[in-house]
Amino acid sequence: MIGCDLCFHLDGRTSCNPLLVGGEVIGSVLMAHADPLSEEHRLRVRDSVTQAAPVLANLRNLGIAQLRAATDSLTGLPNARAVQDTLRLLVAQGSRMLWPLGAVLLDLDHFKEINDRFGHGVGDEVLAAVGVALQSTVRESDFVGRYGGEEFIMLLPDADRDTTLQVAERVRSAIADIDILGGDSAVTASFGVAVFREDAADAARLVRNADRAMYRAKANGRNRVEMFTLDADAEGGSSPGAIGATPAAS
């Protein structure tokens, strides 16, 4: 008799049948039964498991392929396609539930200079480290993804302007603490914040307005968080919601 961690300590009688596909065990079927199985029932279970194994293997492979297609291989974050799908889903959810959705776009400052000075390998390390900083700083309910290049996005369900600004500032600080380039150079990012439905009535405008706020953060010195406002955007100046550290050298 061979016991496993799953069934060995269970009370009563159990039967465990491995799911074998091409000699690989992809799982098992555990059955609990009061009486011993007859030879007929044992063979019937074995045949059923044998027939189910390739079907389950195909479903598993499909799931893996879908996950890989939606994941950025460098950072492990959802990629641009997954970002668009999640954005539409969360905006629709916010419309139904009548709650806000905070959107934060961030772009790494002077990333081309990082690649030129330290090499693309180090640039990739920076992007991966930013991905870790994002995942470890945001709330469990939040979504983070790589929007493209050195640009990332955060989507914060049921987050008003103040909450979204606070999360963005925590992430800004976490990125500034990344120590890959050495003491003579820092990793920083510029952030733009917009909130559905206060700043935008649909998904496209939400991202566009967060993007406009992000470019205002770039114009105002980088390494800072800017909140989208109609007045500030029209005037091209600082918004009342702007926060940030002392700007890094441009």
Residue that is written with structure tokens 């496993």 in the block = 4
- Measure the CA dihedral 177/138/249/221, to 10°: -160
Q: Which amino acid is at 168?
A: A
Half-sphere exposure of 180 (CA within 13 A, CB side): 21
- Quickly list H helices, 17-78: 39-69
Give the three-class secondary structure for 205. helix
Burial string for 35-60 (b: 16+ CB within 10 Å, else e) reads eeeeeeeeeebeeebeeebeeebeee
User: What is the C-alpha end-to-end distance of the chain, expressed in Å?
Assistant: 70
The contacts of residue 137 (CB under 8 Å, 6+ apart) are 167, 170, 171, 174
**Could you say which of 150, 198, 226, 235 is catalytic?**
150
Inter-residue contact 106 to 131 (CB < 8 Å): no
- The question of whether 198 is a catalytic residue gets the answer no
Q: Are 172 and 247 in contact (CB under 8 A)?
A: no
Rounded CA-CA distance 211/68 in Å is 27
Which positions are annotated as active-site residues?
150
